[in-house]
Structure 1
Amino acid sequence: MSHTILLVDDEDDIREVAQLSLEMTAGWEVHAAGSGAEGIRKARELRPEAILLDVMMPEMDGPDTVRALRADPETADIPIILLTAKVQQADRRRFDDLGVSGVLNKPFDPMTLADQVAAVLGW
């Protein structure tokens, strides 16, 4: 089954690997954004089924982007999965407080990324 995903990450190579991974292994339609602000614009425009969002980005980080998406009625109900290299317990609690669907660790395995996303979202 095909799904539409928005991938938001400021690192070009991570966006490229994740996008190729999700498209090739799962056949999903993946749109990419290189910043939180661009991600918010694309989320409003595309209304994806889910958003994969990097935590550490310049200007507007992942948590700020989540708060902006949740505050907008157009995007408030889109499931969000955070991608992060930060795995400290305090960070996990802070992420849980944002109301995200899940947190996936970076670096991720491109061969299992789609399975991990599907498991978090119940697909």
Structure 2
Amino acid sequence: MVDVLIAEDEPGILESLDFILRRAGWSISSVTDGEAVLEAVVRLKPRVLVLDVMLPKRSGFEVLKQIRAEERTRTIPVLVLTAKGQQHDRRVAEDLGASGFVTKPYANDEVVGAVRRLLGGG
């Protein structure tokens, strides 16, 4: 079991997220496409999923929809990363059951705070 699973295909962003979340003291695993997310969620049972909307193979929306549809994954908190100014993305993600949002570009503290809240630590 890992604390945080990151689903992000942009290497620079993935590296940054991995670094700040590890520094905050959590165990991290990552995947870079929408197909891999579903398998990793079942296999790793992360406490939180940080999910980018724009992923190859399957969008973050498709992944979120499937996670919420399946009994064994439906309760995993999902923090959705959306691009700045994409209110539509945020609404769609809310409708699909996202637990929280962070808009790119993001502040490191914002991501750490959002993950901490979803992990139940304030």
The TM-score, its normalising length taken from structure 2, stands at 0.88
Q: Residues 120 and 45 of structure 1: is their aligned pair in 2 closer, same or farther, counting only changes over 3 Å?
A: closer
Q: Output the CA distance in 2 between the equivalents of 1:87 and 1:95.
A: 14
| Matched pairs, number | 120
1:38-117 aligned at under 5 Å gives the runs 38-117=36-115
What's the RMSD between the two structures over aligned residues?
A: 1.7
Percent pairwise identity: 35
Q: Residues 22 and 106 of structure 1: is their aligned pair in 2 closer, same or farther, counting only changes over 3 Å?
A: same
Question: Per-residue deviation at 1:14?
Answer: 1.0
Question: Per-residue deviation at 1:58?
Answer: 2.4
1:37 aligns with 35
Is contact 1:101–1:121 with CA below 8 Å preserved after alignment?
no
2:19 aligns with 20
Question: Per-residue deviation at 1:10?
Answer: 1.1
Q: Residues 62 and 86 of structure 1: is their aligned pair in 2 closer, same or farther, counting only changes over 3 Å?
A: farther
| Amino acid in structure 1 at the alignment position of 2:86 | Q
2:5 aligns with 6
Larger deviation: 111-120 or 34-43?
111-120
